[in-house]
Amino acid sequence: MNRKMDNKEVSTSYWKDAFKRLRKNKLAMVGLYIILGLMVIAILAPWIAPYDPYEVNYDEYLEPPSLRHPLGTDEFGRDILSRIIFGARVSLQVGIIAEGIATAIGVLLGSISGYYGGWVDHLIVELTNIIFAFPFLLFVIAIVVSLGPSLTNVFIAVGITGWAGTARLIRGQILSLKESEYVEAARALGASNTRIIFKHIVPNCIAPIIISATLGMGGAIMTEASLSFLGLGAQPPIPSWGSMIDYAKDFLRTNLWYSFFPGLAIMITVFGFNLLGDGLRDALDPRLKV
Amino acid sequence: MINYIIRRLFLTIPTIIGIITITFLLMYVVPGDPVRILMGQRGDPETIAMIRKQMGLDDPLPVQYFRFLGNILRGDFGRSYATNRPVLPEILSRFPATLKLALASMLVASIIGLTAGIVSATRQYSFFDYSSMVVALMGVSAPVFWVGLLLMWIFGYTLGWLPISGYGGVSYLILPAIALGVRPAAYIARMTRSSFLEVLRQDYIRTARAKGLPERRVIYVHAMRNTLITVITVLGMELASLLSGAVLTETIFAWPGIGRLSVDAIIKRDHPMVQGTVLFTAIIFIFANLIVDISYAFLDPRIRYE
């Protein structure tokens, strides 16, 4: 790996430059720290959570924030802080797995569409148009209803609806890259189409892929929260931020904090991904920097 | 122009057929026998078999598909499992509520978004610019149902100024419209700012300044016109997505629009109604976007000659 990196002098300095630009962008760094912090919380959840997130305690239900329970307790007496800490695991999983599926499908279909052209291209472009024509959340809801409500099905639904944007982006990149001289050279050397696409072309569109995946992760987390809020995502007693608010809303009048903290967690997380995504766009695409 | 409109109309045909196909397949793979859902515990096997036959559920997939397609094209969206009444009239009767909410939140979003965007652009890198763009990004990141609940708590429960939820006069409209307007407002602010900044860098703006026009005139007359083209498109696109039903907002505020209808149908496992609302909103979305595109071509003649 290292040796390879050394050979690609140009691309190394491109990434170094990009990182330098990113580090100068304060907001993007805030986003990065939020995401890193979240990852640490998710990984260390069993050790840092003060209570077991599933532990029911009817002696202490719906308590306001206190020293014992910094963010209060829910209607089963479960510690809200611990549930939010474990909820970070759910959200990050959704972000990584669901958006991973979407990005993989998008890159694959986008490159096939752009590289081969012809009827395959028409078909895929038409399919992206159809996906864009659906109101996104309702489409995801319809899929989850068909598959049955569960967290796994949320991954699948977000994965198979979320790829269209990436596909469109990659197709555009490939259309211009496939005419370039180094691709022609690779073809002249007898490289197969698969090799040209995945070894030569896709690595050159890695920047837009990273940008759209980062923004997409925030979107996927928001979608999961919305579905869980409607009772279609994570099923109880899994501590998902969205379903916590779903249960909390019945106690809104007297227990604001119960609704407030899980929502704050969603907002901070999605905000982090959006900040980083915006910053990456400025850092990785110098052409956009005016 | 007429040619452009006709061409665009033809281009929507394959998309609409694609949407009908996907909606059909989605409901076809739904687990559970629809007749069972319809009959509940009552049905004996013979009756169920008979009804299945009547409903054509035993026909091969392609036969069922083309029958579905034919029915939809004739405006027959099927009958609700819950009420046994046709789905489409029910959806149409809910549309005015969705339209009202969409227009109200669009109004909120445009006022906030345009003001924040223009002020930020004219004072680029100022404290206001910086903070309003951070707030805008937070607005995009906050879940709409959470914003709705917070508004409810503040203005409904605590201050008691506005009704918590329900449908009625203007007072019922305010909270859901603000909750739903936050996201488009943030988006409009960001787009207005960036397109304004782009316009401000153009030569004709420098010319306008060079010939001694007051800055006010340069910004609000010369730059504004070209910014509006982009901004109107964004407004139109946002309106299109709002029209297709605000599932979450309508649910928490008990607003009787299409979004709420579809969530109720999901809970009741009323598949024809789910199918109908998805299809209906997708078609509304397509045509709303089409109108946006056409008006864009109207505002910017360059588009027509692509």
- Residue A12: pLDDT band (50, 70, 90) is low
Supply the pLDDT for residue B237.
Answer: 80
**Nearest CA to CA, how far is A143 from chain B (Å)?**
7
Nearest CA in chain B to A136: B241
Q: In this complex, do A130 and B15 lie within 8 Å of one another by their Cβ atoms? A: yes
Query: Average pLDDT of A110-114?
Result: 91
Supply the pLDDT for residue B48.
Answer: 76
By the CB < 8 Å criterion, does B286 face chain A?
yes
**Residues in B touching A260 (Cβ below 8 Å):** 150
By the CB < 8 Å criterion, does A137 face chain B?
yes
**Nearest CA to CA, how far is A168 from chain B (Å)?**
16
pTM (2 decimals)? 0.87
Neighbouring C-beta atoms of residue A147, cutoff 10 Å? 18
Neighbouring C-beta atoms of residue B188, cutoff 10 Å? 26
Lowest mean pLDDT among A6-10, A194-198, B74-78, B283-287: A6-10
Q: Which residue in B150, B266, B282 is closest to A133 by CB distance? A: B282
Residues B110 and B181: their CA atoms lie apart, in Å, by 9
Question: Which is more confidently placed, B226 or A247?
Answer: A247
Lowest mean pLDDT among A247-256, A280-289, B110-119, B127-136: A280-289
> What are the residues whose beta carbons fall under 8 Å from the beta carbon of B201, sequence distance 6 or more?
A290
Supply the pLDDT for residue A289.
Answer: 42
By the CB < 8 Å criterion, does A251 face chain B?
no
- Average model confidence (pLDDT) for chain A? 86
By the CB < 8 Å criterion, does A4 face chain B?
no
Residue with tokens 């960036």: B194
Beta bridge partners of B79: B86
> What are the residues whose beta carbons fall under 8 Å from the beta carbon of A269, sequence distance 6 or more?
A34, A35, A38, A88, A91, A218, A221
Residues of chain B with pLDDT under 70: 31-43, 244-245, 303-306
Residues B72 and B59: their CA atoms lie apart, in Å, by 18
Supply the pLDDT for residue B34.
Answer: 67
Domains of chain A (ranges, CATH numbers)? 70-284 (1.10.3720.10)
By the CB < 8 Å criterion, does B263 face chain A?
yes
* Alpha-helical runs (H) found in A49-201: 80-93, 99-116, 118-133, 136-147, 151-177, 181-188, 193-195
Query: Average pLDDT of A223-230?
Result: 92
Q: In this complex, do B143 and A266 lie within 8 Å of one another by their Cβ atoms? A: yes
Query: Mind listing the pLDDT tens digit for each residue in A25-57?
Result: 888 899 999 999 999 999 998 998 888 888 887
SS3 A73: strand
**Residues in A touching B285 (Cβ below 8 Å):** 133-135
Q: Which residue in B19, B138, B146 is closest to A245 by CB distance? A: B146
What the block records as the tokens of B212 is 């001694």
By the CB < 8 Å criterion, does A222 face chain B?
yes
**Residues in B touching A232 (Cβ below 8 Å):** 266
Supply the pLDDT for residue A222.
Answer: 93
Supply the pLDDT for residue A36.
Answer: 95
Query: Mind listing the pLDDT tens digit for each residue in A170-186?
Result: 898 888 888 888 888 88
The interface pTM score, or ipTM, of the predicted complex is 0.86
Supply the pLDDT for residue B38.
Answer: 67
